[in-house]
Amino acid sequence: MASNNKRPLPQGETFFTPGSTGLRKAVETRSSTLLVFLFTQAPRWVAPLVMVVLLLAGLAVSSWPGGLAVLPVLAFVLLLAYLSWPSLGAGGKVLRLVLLTFLVLLAADRFGAF
């Protein structure tokens, strides 16, 4: 029984990049279940809230637990950047690279690399 508070799926034939093969097709197929659940079944505020809490924990804790808190944020942003990369302009690609670089440096700092 469907609930009225669930968001509808986006319009279109498929979630996948048309004509994709190899690694992109495998990543899109494996990640689709998680992303469809997060963006259609879970309340809208769950994913952003969890990411903000983990990022704030990573910023606040200056030892290895802070680094562990940053890793899921890094993985999620990396996945979204990889999936959206073909449709981005130059500015979007640069912003994603800057964000990923910041998260990698933050995690490395918390694990004691610097």
Domain ranges of the chain: 22-110
What is the per-residue pLDDT for 31? 76
Residues 84 and 37 sit within 8 Å (Cβ to Cβ): no
What is the per-residue pLDDT for 29? 75
What is the per-residue pLDDT for 1? 46
What is the per-residue pLDDT for 19? 67
Structure tokens at 109: 């700092």
Report the C-alpha gap between 33 and 103 in whole angstroms.
Answer: 25
Q: Taking the complete model, does pTM exceed 0.85, yes or no?
A: no
What is the per-residue pLDDT for 91? 95
Residues 73 and 88 sit within 8 Å (Cβ to Cβ): no
| Cα distance between the two ends of the chain | 53
